Structure formats: C-alpha cells, structure tokens
Amino acid sequence: MKKHICYFLTVLFTVMSLSLSAEGLNESPEVISPLEIQVVDVNKADIETLALLKGVGEKKAQAIIAYRELHGDFNSVDDLLNVKGIGEQMLQHNKERIKL
C-alpha cells in the first residue's frame, strides 16, 4: 500500500510540474522586435519619441523640437535636413519611420 501511495504521489507531482513549466509558453514577449517599425510624427513628437529614430539621440531630438518651434511644422521629410545635426544618412535610415 505504501508503495502505491509513493508511486501515486510521484506521478502526481510529475504531472503538476509539467503543467507549471508549460505555463507561459504561448505568451509573447514584451520586447519590441527590431523589425517592427515605429512611425514617428516629427511635427508632434516629444524628445523621447523622436529619440526612437535611428541616429537621433536626445540632443538631435531637442534640435528638431527647437527648429519646429521656431519655423513651424515640417512640410516634408526633407525639411529635417535644415535641422543642425540631421544629415542625409539619418534621413535615409528613417524615411519609412517618419510621418508628418
């Protein structure tokens, strides 16, 4: 009888541990994939949002906002070239990620 109880408990704990280890396997991670493109509205974005663009850090984001405040909204993506520190290469890396 003790042998059967031990066997039963072993099987029970094994089955329970399998369900616990399988829990969460179908959950998707909270990490954003590099392939996922985040579109940024340069006429409305704050510093943190602008910094999501490739090659744009806090200083360049501040420069974009300062230019926008002085000159008004950007009319085209190429208008960003007028911002100090923003070059053609940065625009090419982010063309599909920028909206107006």
Does a structural domain hold residue 83?
Answer: yes
**Would the pTM of this model clear 0.75, i.e. be above it?**
no
Q: Are the C-beta atoms of residues 49 and 97 closer than 8 Å to each other? A: no
**Element of type H or E holding 72:** none
Domain count, the chain: 1
Yes or no: say if 55 and 93 are a contact pair by the CB < 8 Å rule: yes
Q: Looking at the domain assignment, is residue 33 inside a domain? A: no
pLDDT tens, residue by residue, 20-74: 554 555 555 555 445 456 899 999 999 999 999 999 999 999 999 999 999 999 9
Answer yes or no: are the C-beta atoms of 77 and 91 closer than 8 Å: yes
CA gap 91, 25 in Å, rounded: 39
Containing domain of residue 55, as a range? Answer: 40-99
**Residue matched to tokens 């829990």:** 23
pLDDT at 35: 47
Residue 87 forms part of a structural domain: yes
